């Protein structure tokens, strides 16, 4: 239903009533020209028809973007290049800004790598110099021998599926992970559809099969890894038994391990600072604002860019307190945009915010998802939403203004039978914005006297 249709339906009902009266009057003229008794005055009537009865809440709103981000500087440094301007379309991974200072940070990374290597070597020297107690080494040999046997047993009795027989364990995980990602991507557009939707069920079955295959591949790789790890531990224990005499001092081990942890943390921090010199687009989108210029120095955490996915749109509307209890998630919505007045776009209630945003009048925010937003609309534009609370198609109906329904769902109208009127008791159903549904008491085509 177009927006102009919604606004004119009430006026149309009045026109129909008035027109019917006029036609009824005209219908008496031929009889007036004959030598017959006084013609019966035909009252204005409205025909009982079939059609749609709809109850809606019409409310204004505004388009909003739910994927707008501010990109902050991850490190301090001079701006060496700015490759984008406001309005520029960018692809995920595209370099937008480059900061200077790379040479120094690369030297810092190299120094941190050397510090970590020295700390790790110190731990190796500590263990090699200390040796291993023969009894402890023997216990370790016993333990890891059992683990190797257990791991080998699991692997020997593992049934490799036919689709993984020709794949190495790691290769199988990678191949089936790609299949799983593909199945997830295929199911994603249908995950909020009804559970009985055939397309959703098809993609869900494919997703479950892909998940099962991937889990099997991971379990196989785990068995292989467990065997390899256990074998490596067994080999080390055997080496310890043969070469070590006294175990290392735990305090010395803790001290050296602390040096390793500190060196590793320093290396990760320095590498992150080096990576932060390149600012890339996190997703496909459009640059909204550029807050930096070449030559200036930015501080860590300062704002550099703002970008958004222009297709990530939804409509934010507000409903009054009286309408709030009638709004529910997943209700269908018809959307109209001033920028595209000829289009009628479908949506549905996505989220309802249970918080008053205005005290006079009391208003509550409702977010409406858009099935397919028109290309010419962007965030910030105005929109009108018709939230469909209830609807009946092909219902027996009369204009709502013609039927004064009681609270118990009954009403009384006058029906024109051609030469006289007759009072009828009705049972009504859905009370729409313009029409009211007639459940009993009238038939299609009957003429109801207008009030």
Taking only the tens place, the pLDDT of each residue in 95-146 is: 999 999 888 889 999 999 999 999 999 988 887 777 656 677 888 888 989 9
The whole-chain average pLDDT of the chain stands at 87
Residue linked to tokens 């008053």: 356
Furthest C-alpha separation in the chain: 137
Residue linked to tokens 């379309």: 89
Q: Which CATH number fits the domain that encloses residue 344?
A: 2.40.30.170
What is the predicted pLDDT for the residue at 38? 66
Question: pLDDT tens digits for 285-299?
Answer: 999 999 999 999 999
Question: pLDDT tens digits for 205-247?
Answer: 999 999 998 999 998 889 889 989 999 988 888 887 776 656 6
Q: Are 144 and 260 within one domain?
A: yes
What is the predicted pLDDT for the residue at 36? 55
Percent above pLDDT 70 for the chain: 89
Q: Are 206 and 270 within one domain?
A: yes
Smallest CA-to-CA distance from 433 within 138, 53, 158 is with: 53
* Mean pLDDT computed over 407-429: 93
**Alpha carbon distance 48, 350 (integer Å):** 37
Domains held by the chain: number:
3
**Alpha carbon distance 295, 297 (integer Å):** 7
What is the predicted pLDDT for the residue at 23? 40
Smallest CA-to-CA distance from 112 within 272, 264, 277 is with: 264
Q: Which two tokens stand for residue 110?
A: 């190299």
**Alpha carbon distance 407, 355 (integer Å):** 31
Rounded to the nearest 5°, which phi and psi values hold at 335?
Answer: -115, 145
Q: The domain containing residue 291 runs over which residues?
A: 68-101+277-308
Angle at 266 between CA 265 and CA 268, to 5 degrees: 65
Q: Which CATH number fits the domain that encloses residue 293?
A: 2.40.50.100
Q: Are 243 and 111 within one domain?
A: yes
Smallest CA-to-CA distance from 65 within 338, 318, 381 is with: 381
Q: How confident is the model at residue 301 (pLDDT cuts 50, 70, 90)?
A: very high
**Alpha carbon distance 403, 426 (integer Å):** 9
* Mean pLDDT computed over 333-344: 89
Q: Are 235 and 221 within one domain?
A: yes
DSSP 184-228: HHHHGGGTTS-TT-HHHHHHHHHHHHHHHHHHHHHHHHHHHHHHH
3-state secondary structure 76-123: CEEEEEECCCCCCEECCCCEEEEECCHHHHHHHHHHHHHHHHHHHHHH
What is the predicted pLDDT for the residue at 220? 87
pLDDT at residue 35 greater than cutoff 50: yes
pLDDT at residue 316 greater than cutoff 50: yes
Q: Are 175 and 295 within one domain?
A: no
Least confident of 187-191, 237-241, 313-317, 346-350: 237-241
Q: Are 190 and 251 within one domain?
A: yes
* Mean pLDDT computed over 73-83: 93
**Alpha carbon distance 72, 358 (integer Å):** 33
Of 259, 290, 308, the residue at which a domain comes to its end is 308
Q: How confident is the model at residue 252 (pLDDT cuts 50, 70, 90)?
A: confident
Q: How confident is the model at residue 22 (pLDDT cuts 50, 70, 90)?
A: very low
Q: Are 97 and 51 within one domain?
A: no
* Mean pLDDT computed over 323-349: 92
Percent above pLDDT 90 for the chain: 62
Angle at 98 between CA 92 and CA 103, to 5 degrees: 130
pLDDT at residue 2 greater than cutoff 80: no
**Alpha carbon distance 424, 403 (integer Å):** 11
Q: Are 93 and 62 within one domain?
A: no
What is the predicted pLDDT for the residue at 128? 72
Q: Are 242 and 339 within one domain?
A: no
What is the predicted pLDDT for the residue at 133? 61
Q: Are 118 and 219 within one domain?
A: yes
CA 331 to chain CA centroid, nearest Å: 16
What is the predicted pLDDT for the residue at 298? 93
DSSP 265-294: HHHHHHHHHHHTTEEE-SSSEEEEEE---T
Contact indicator for 380, 65 with CB cutoff of 8 Å: no
Q: Are 5 and 54 within one domain?
A: yes
**Alpha carbon distance 77, 52 (integer Å):** 65
Q: Are 267 and 353 within one domain?
A: no
């Amino acid at each position: 239903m177009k927006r102009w249709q919604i606004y004119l339906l009430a006026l149309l009902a009045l026109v129909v009533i008035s027109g019917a009266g006029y036609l009824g009057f005209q219908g008496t003229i031929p009889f007036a020209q004959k030598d017959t008794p006084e013609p019966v005055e035909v009252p204005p009537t409205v025909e009982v028809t079939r059609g749609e009865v709809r109850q809606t809440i019409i409310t204004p709103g505004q388009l909003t973007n739910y994927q707008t981000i501010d990109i902050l500087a991850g490190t301090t440094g001079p701006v060496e290049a700015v490759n984008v301007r406001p309005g520029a379309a960018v692809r995920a991974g595209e370099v937008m800004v480059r900061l200077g200072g790379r040479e120094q940070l690369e030297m810092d990374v190299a120094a941190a790598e050397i510090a970590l290597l020295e700390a790790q070597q110190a731990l190796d020297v500590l263990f090699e110099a200390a040796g291993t107690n023969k009894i402890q080494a023997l216990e370790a040999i016993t333990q890891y021998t059992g683990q190797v046997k257990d791991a080998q047993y699991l692997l020997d009795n593992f049934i490799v599926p036919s689709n993984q027989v020709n794949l190495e364990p790691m290769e199988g995980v990678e191949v089936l992970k790609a299949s799983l990602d593909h199945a997830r991507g295929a199911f994603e557009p249908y995950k909020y559809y009804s559970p009985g939707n055939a397309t959703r069920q098809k993609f869900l079955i494919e997703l479950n099969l892909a998940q099962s295959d991937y889990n099997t591949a991971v379990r196989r790789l785990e068995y292989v890894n467990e065997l390899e790890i256990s074998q490596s531990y067994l080999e080390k224990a055997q080496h310890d038994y043969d070469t070590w005499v006294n175990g290392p001092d735990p305090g010395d081990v803790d001290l050296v391990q602390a040096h390793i942890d500190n060196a590793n943390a320093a290396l990760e921090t320095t590498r992150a600072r080096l990576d932060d010199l390149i600012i890339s687009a996190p997703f496909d989108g459009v640059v909204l604002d550029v807050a930096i210029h070449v030559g200036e120095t930015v501080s860590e955490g300062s704002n550099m860019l703002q970008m958004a996915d222009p297709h990530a749109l939804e409509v934010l509307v507000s409903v009054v307190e009286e309408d709030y209890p009638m709004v529910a998630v997943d209700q269908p919505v018809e959307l109209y945009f001033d920028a595209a007045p000829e289009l009628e776009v479908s949506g549905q209630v996505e989220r309802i915010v249970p918080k008053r945003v205005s005290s006079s009048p009391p208003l509550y925010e409702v977010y409406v998802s858009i099935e397919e937003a028109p290309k010419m609309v962007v965030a910030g534009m105005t929109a009108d939403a018709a939230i469909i609370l209830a609807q009946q198609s092909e219902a027996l109906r009369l204009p709502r203004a013609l039927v004064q329904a009681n609270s118990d769902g009954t009403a009384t109208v006058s029906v024109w039978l051609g030469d006289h009127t007759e009072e009828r008791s009705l049972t009504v159903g859905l009370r729409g914005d313009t029409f009211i549904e007639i459940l009993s008491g009238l038939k299609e085509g009957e003429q109801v006297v207008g009030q």
